[in-house]
Amino acid sequence: MTVRSRLEGRMDENALKLTTSMDFDENIFQYDILVDYAHVIMLEKSGIIDRNSAARILRALREIERSGFESLSKEYEDVHEAIEAKVIELAGDDGKKMHTARSRNDEVATCLRMFARDRILELLSTLLELRSVLLKKAKENVNAVMPGFTHLQYAQPTKLSHHLLAYHDMIERDFQRLLDAFRRVNLSPLGSSAFAGTSFPIDRRLVAEYLGFDGVVENSMDGVSSRDFLIESVFACTSLMLSFSRICEEIVLWASEFEFVVLPDEFASSSSIMPQKKNPDTAEIIRAKAGRMVGDLAGVMAIYKAMPFAYNRDFQEMNRVMFQVMNETLLAARVMAGLMDGIEFRTDVMEGKAGKGFSVATEIANLLVQKGVPFRTSHRIVGELAKRGIYRPDAKTLTTIAREFGVEVEVTQEEIEAASIPELVVEQRESEGGTSERNILVMIEKRVERIKEDEVRIASIRARISDSLKRLFEEVDAYAGKEG
């Protein structure tokens, strides 16, 4: 152990098992190396350590990076201590200078932010792919009519394209939440030290630039004691998984009795006993993971809710949750993009059921309103048709029942047929965002343009971070020599 100092003897074996984070610290191994690179170079540039010491430390770090996480001893509290011990082993007394003007408190907070920002960027790129798939499918099915539901009952005819656009817009909001979270995540706490800053003349802005951050968390206590960025990252992922879960729920339903979709073989499973089965297992697993993540979100919030300032080891249990949630959300997003791209919509079945359950009832009521009948009265008249099981009324039947309610109205057979054919009904909904072809095409075009803008935005962010890290590696080479 490298940080026992005033403590005699080794840590109790069970206590170490309880407190170590080495079982999940591989998630931040690479980030810890990058943080160490930047910190050591800054120490030398600030005149805190000499150039030869910096070079030896950087060469040791480069060897550790090349050897990988598995080369580290697991007999340490965390990856930060394990790397420092290995640096001391390789660089001797010079290695003991690496931790100057730094605490594990600001070190881990920096690594966590780098992990979160990279997973957010990967998620954003994957969601751009998923959004494009949804728009492609909507364009392919612009005029495919299907039943719409409320309370999972046949309600009104709609269009598959309209339904898919609703999926897209839900995912786009999650995209924006992640993008907004990125802005608060991508700030550097490095240099906060334990929580009160340091008396060494460090340059916090320099290390932030090397590591691709957009700035620093200014208050040093806030830098090490805040984990709202972690909670926000978990929340944004959970929100996205809830959106996925709703889509998956419909895929499960549509793949069974509804017979609206045929699942791609690559995203389905078979039964161990029933050879005819094609099960929507991937959708079900994503649906289940969304439920667990709701609990994970509650868990990190419960840990955080009464945490005194500044750093407390309780934070470590929050890290484990963030790693798992963000990694699994990214995997789920990739699966969703592939699943939605490969799914086959049975538009013939959808169209055949579009008028089921007297789903055109609202349009017939609207027809009476256009004839001067108050809507609530027309609602009662059409409700009476439903009560009597008259789902395809002719003009005579409609006017007869209207008369029973004291309403005299003239309706032609052509008019009632226009209000009873789902393909015609959906085209009459010209209100903004409605199901008419014109509306659908306008909505698709607008969303395609927004995706293009988002692609440019994400590419720009990635380029900025990449350029910063390239500069960092060039500095490492300048100090430690180029690798052969």
Q: Give the residue numbers marked as catalytic.
A: 151, 271
Burial of 463 (C-beta count, 10 Å sphere; 0-12/13-18/19+): exposed
Give the 3-state secondary structure of residue 147: strand
Secondary structure of 207-249 as H, E, C letters? HHHHCCCCCECCCHHHHHHCCHHHHHHHHHHHHHHHHHHHHHH
Pairwise CA distance, residues 106 & 112, whole Å: 10
Q: Which residue has the tokens 């005699």?
A: 8
Pairwise CA distance, residues 256 & 176, whole Å: 33
Pairwise CA distance, residues 387 & 70, whole Å: 71
| Greatest C-alpha distance within the chain | 100
Write down the number of H helices and E strands in the chain.
18, 4
If phi > 0 it is left, if psi is from -120 to 50 it is alpha, else beta; for residue 135 that is alpha
Quickly list H helices, 279-394: 281-304, 315-342, 347-353, 361-370, 375-387
- Amino acid residing at 271: S
Secondary structure of 253-300 as H, E, C letters? HHCCCCCCEECCHHHCECCCCCCCCCECHHHHHHHHHHHHHHHHHHHH
Task: Centre a 10 Å sphere on the Cβ of residue 302 and count the other Cβ atoms it contains.
Answer: 10
Please count the CA atoms within 13 angstroms of the CA of 173 that sit on its side-chain side. Answer: 11
Q: Tell which residue, 345, 144, 126, 351, has the closest CA to residue 254.
A: 345
Pairwise CA distance, residues 306 & 312, whole Å: 11
